[in-house]
Amino acid sequence: MVSCVSGSRLDPWVDSYAQRARGMTASEIRALFSVASRPEVVSLAGGMPFVQALNMDMVAETAARLLKERGATALQYGSGQGDMSLREQILEVIGEVGVQAHPDDIVVTTGSQMALDLVTRVFCDPGDTVLVESPSYVGALGVFRSFECDIVHVAMDEEGLNPQALTDAITAARSAGKKIKMIYTIPSFHNPAGVTQGPQRRAEILRIAQSAGILVLEDDPYGLLGFEGEVPRALRADDAEGVIYLGSFSKTIASGLRVGWAVAPHGVREKLVLAAEAATLCPSNYAQLTVSEYLATQPWREQIKTFRELYRERRDALLESLQAMMPEGTTWTIPAGGFYSWVTLPAGLDATAMLPRALAELVAYVPGTGFYVNGAGRNNLRLSYCYPDPDRIREGVRRLAGVIEAELDLARTFGTTHTLATFHGESTPTPDMA
Amino acid sequence: MVSCVSGSRLDPWVDSYAQRARGMTASEIRALFSVASRPEVVSLAGGMPFVQALNMDMVAETAARLLKERGATALQYGSGQGDMSLREQILEVIGEVGVQAHPDDIVVTTGSQMALDLVTRVFCDPGDTVLVESPSYVGALGVFRSFECDIVHVAMDEEGLNPQALTDAITAARSAGKKIKMIYTIPSFHNPAGVTQGPQRRAEILRIAQSAGILVLEDDPYGLLGFEGEVPRALRADDAEGVIYLGSFSKTIASGLRVGWAVAPHGVREKLVLAAEAATLCPSNYAQLTVSEYLATQPWREQIKTFRELYRERRDALLESLQAMMPEGTTWTIPAGGFYSWVTLPAGLDATAMLPRALAELVAYVPGTGFYVNGAGRNNLRLSYCYPDPDRIREGVRRLAGVIEAELDLARTFGTTHTLATFHGESTPTPDMA
């Protein structure tokens, strides 16, 4: 890691940047990761999938076979929309969450983050409103901000996006003369909230969006990673024209491949392909065909089952140790899948201010404020159980509980903990953003 | 390939798109490629590198070794700025064109197309002026258009971008109250013009840009593929603060990897990383580390030499057969490297109108109009010699010469050929755009 040689150097181009570049600011949680990645720190911060659970020899053989048999294609430019065979295979994957589509409806992207970016680019003028959950995925907020959207948080409850709050937000934004371009939601195993919309809730949200004529942007990276019974049915499964569905192989195969996709209504899909070509010409054939070869030759459903069991065990370790060790007044969500639980600290505690003390005790988390654009979330933090093993998770929660106890002692002595920590530093790495 | 089920379906979201989506229109040359990719057609159209010249078994072993030894890293999220070891290796590669930099100055992107996109996103507000060559790379025009730039073509001569024309264009744009954000240039082995700026010319262009205080965006995908003696020295080699340099492994290793980079002044680099994270979180570790492993273990300079010799032989086949077969009044540029020659048809002929007739005679090219935003180029076409072997190139030129002869006969009989062909169709593939 090379440190910034910044400070004294002035930027001669500072007056040349586009208006939108003002929205591109370093997240306060970014600097955390250079510390959190030290081996002595138990990181409950990053959302890195545990790719070590893959059979690496098998992946190596898959890649080698692909290159030997179809190297001239795998190493060549491809279609801007993505490889046709892979798009057909994606239909099988999204069939698991009830989505019926045509290969022509699918646009393959460099991770689903790129799909988020393309959708925003195609729909959002500066000042357009996007409704997001409260809290919402930090990477989506970054995209919306970089296109100068007006981001409005809508309250959630234990079943995710709250219908009454959604209706109220639509009414309020429209009364204020705002153009609402979309509702961005993660219905299943929410990042960071750790909650899931039930079937009834999904129907209500769709109904509200349809009657208001607002596009739904459904982000579903964790949909297949449910721990209990059937995986949830996607919103897109019940509305092909009103929903853009985003999927990813980052959590079901491997994030380092950067292969995601959008399923979009016909007219939108055409725009997305044009935007994708401007953005990257075409997604990597090498990565796409590696995924395609893997899906065609390996027991991918079994592998997802392995991931599910692994993450369930880790989720259980987290919940059990939270239950056993957290001071009174601390609450958390119970995720039925995915990677995250959302913690609310006892009243008066500030998760951002507490972070340096947690790092000093060798445990890392993501403070809640990063998941809001409105300064909310000071009392919250996100815990990830995807990467450390159960023993490390328990040790991490033990350390965190100690830090919270100490904060409570301080608060009882001096009132609320209002020291605001500010972080500056390196732009690497950002595994948490996924 | 699946054909569009378009036509009767109306787009319910047609009123929701962003202003910038209006600039996202399908290129007229796009449809050509579904025809041009048929095996009976000699395609002198696409800019696909001849990746078959790689030793595929060796690439397969490289990938397999990477996954076996460093699979957990290769398949994981990485830094938004790109892998540190790869950035160090990129310094060696750009050292070949005289660029001295620090690993921290480099941002790895999903092909250099993404770097083009990020630079434009960071610098250009709607209506900002970008100065481009005349003709210019179609993929760059697409990016500038998608960010609603005002694109101004600047005349070229046999040494590329013309200094007097550049000075005049700057004066004219500024007199008209326009904000000029950058000068976009491909100094070496230009796509599509096939010309190269000499050392004197480069110095003049830098001097003009510096004295006007305008950023230079130097696009150099072909820089290492020169056929004669030393490779040209990059503009960036002589100005670290005023030039953003874009490079790519697409032509020196393989385009299907989608690994490119930008070398940028410090302040710009920080913005580019933030924009990159919004766009894709991070580039693919899988592709990046495959490149890194290849550079570390394979004779990459030898491989580039192999590519150079291969493309020189093809260039020679093209030039010799153009010389032998083209009707009088046809002229073309003599590329000293890269993939392309730019042809000017005899007066009165229209390369766009001629294309369907060329395809009927089983030869494909790219009509000149795609490389302009102002309707120029009707009299021009781009020929690529990178992909077909020398015999196919000769056969292609023979067919093309016959088509031009026939057009000349028609023109002599009926006046100019003014039937305008319009192409509509599939959004795939777009290998030409590279």
Chain B: give the shortest CA distance to residue A79, in Å: 4
pLDDT tens, residue by residue, A391-401: 999 999 999 99
CB contact under 8 A, A63 and B68: no
Cis-peptide into B335, omega within 30 deg: no
pLDDT score, position A411: 87
Chain A: give the shortest CA distance to residue B5, in Å: 9
pLDDT tens, residue by residue, A143-184: 999 999 999 999 999 999 999 999 999 999 999 999 999 999
**What domains does chain B contain, in order, with CATH numbers?**
19-47+302-433 (3.90.1150.10), 77-297 (3.40.640.10)
Chain B: give the shortest CA distance to residue A419, in Å: 27
Tokens standing for A417?
């903990």
Cβ–Cβ under 8 Å, residues A402 and A412: no
| pLDDT-based confidence at residue A27 (cuts at 50, 70, 90) | low
Complex prediction ipTM = 0.92
Q: Residues of A with CB below 8 A from B128's CB?
A: 18
pLDDT tens, residue by residue, A36-72: 778 899 999 989 999 999 999 999 999 999 999 999 9
| pLDDT-based confidence at residue B174 (cuts at 50, 70, 90) | very high
- For residues B5-14, give the mean pLDDT: 69
CB contact under 8 A, A256 and B75: yes
The nearest alpha carbon in chain A to B240 belongs to A12
- For residues A122-135, give the mean pLDDT: 97
Chain A: give the shortest CA distance to residue B29, in Å: 14
pLDDT tens, residue by residue, B389-430: 999 999 999 999 999 999 999 888 887 655 443 333 323 333
Whether A265 has a pLDDT exceeding 80, the answer reads yes
| pLDDT-based confidence at residue B5 (cuts at 50, 70, 90) | very low
pLDDT score, position B324: 98
Average pLDDT, chain A: 92
pLDDT tens, residue by residue, B91-111: 999 999 999 999 999 999 999
Q: Residues of A with CB below 8 A from B280's CB?
A: 110-111, 113-114, 117, 258
CB contact under 8 A, B60 and A51: no
pLDDT tens, residue by residue, B36-79: 778 899 999 989 999 999 999 999 999 999 999 999 999 999 99
The pLDDT > 90 percentage for chain A reads 86
In terms of Cα–Cα distance, which of A188, A72, A176, A64 is closest to A137?
A188
| Least confident range of A14-28, A65-79, B280-294 | A14-28
- Report how far Cα A262 is from the mean position of its chain's Cα atoms: 15
| Interface test with chain B among A258, A290, A292, by most B beta carbons within 10 Å | A258
Q: Residues of B with CB below 8 A from A84's CB?
A: 1-2
Determine the Cα–Cα distance for residues B154 and B182; give it in Å rounded to an integer: 12
CB contact under 8 A, B2 and A103: yes
Whether A431 has a pLDDT exceeding 70, the answer reads no
Cβ–Cβ under 8 Å, residues A297 and A62: yes
B293-299: long-range contacts (C-beta < 8 A, 24 or more apart)? B293/B62, B293/B63, B293/B65, B293/B66, B294/B59, B294/B62, B294/B253, B295/B86, B295/B89, B295/B92, B295/B93, B296/B89, B297/B62, B297/B65, B298/B58, B298/B62
The nearest alpha carbon in chain A to B278 belongs to A143
| Interface test with chain A among B20, B30, B277, B298, by most A beta carbons within 10 Å | B277
pLDDT score, position B426: 29
Whether A8 has a pLDDT exceeding 60, the answer reads no
pLDDT tens, residue by residue, B325-346: 999 999 999 999 999 999 999 9
Residue A422: C-alpha distances to residues A28, A31, A32, B378 (Å): 7, 10, 11, 58
Whether A2 has a pLDDT exceeding 70, the answer reads no
Question: Which residue in the set A13, A72, A277 is minimally distant from B433, CB to CB?
Answer: A277
The nearest alpha carbon in chain B to A434 belongs to B281
CB contact under 8 A, A21 and B428: no
Question: Which residue in the set A84, A123, A124 is minimally distant from B2, CB to CB?
Answer: A84
B377 Cβ neighbours under 8 A, 6+ residues apart: B135, B351, B367, B368, B369, B370, B371
pLDDT tens, residue by residue, B357-390: 999 999 999 999 999 999 999 999 999 999 999 9
Question: Which residue in the set A139, A241, A285 is minimally distant from B256, CB to CB?
Answer: A285
Q: Residues of A with CB below 8 A from B275's CB?
A: 21, 24, 146
Whether B33 has a pLDDT exceeding 80, the answer reads no
Whether B322 has a pLDDT exceeding 70, the answer reads yes
The nearest alpha carbon in chain A to B430 belongs to A79
CB contact under 8 A, A258 and B1: no
- For residues A114-133, give the mean pLDDT: 98
pLDDT tens, residue by residue, A210-252: 999 999 999 999 999 999 988 999 999 999 999 999 999 999 9
Whether A421 has a pLDDT exceeding 80, the answer reads no
pLDDT score, position A30: 66
Determine the Cα–Cα distance for residues B94 and B236; give it in Å rounded to an integer: 10
pLDDT score, position B10: 85
pLDDT tens, residue by residue, A336-369: 999 999 999 999 999 999 999 999 999 999 999 9
Q: Residues of A with CB below 8 A from B68's CB?
A: 56-57, 60
Residue that has been written with the tokens 């996954």 in this structure: B67
Q: Residues of B with CB below 8 A from A124's CB?
A: 18
Chain B: give the shortest CA distance to residue A213, in Å: 9
The DSSP annotation for B390-423 comes to HHHHHHHHHHHHHHHHHHHHHHHHHSS--PPP--
The nearest alpha carbon in chain A to B24 belongs to A274
The pLDDT > 90 percentage for chain B reads 86
Cβ–Cβ under 8 Å, residues B187 and B220: yes
Tokens standing for A64?
């080698």
Cβ–Cβ under 8 Å, residues B186 and B133: yes
Q: Which secondary-structure segment (H or E) carries B276?
A: helix B266-280
| Least confident range of A120-129, B8-17, B139-148, B187-196 | B8-17
pLDDT score, position B229: 82
Whether this model's pTM surpasses 0.90: yes
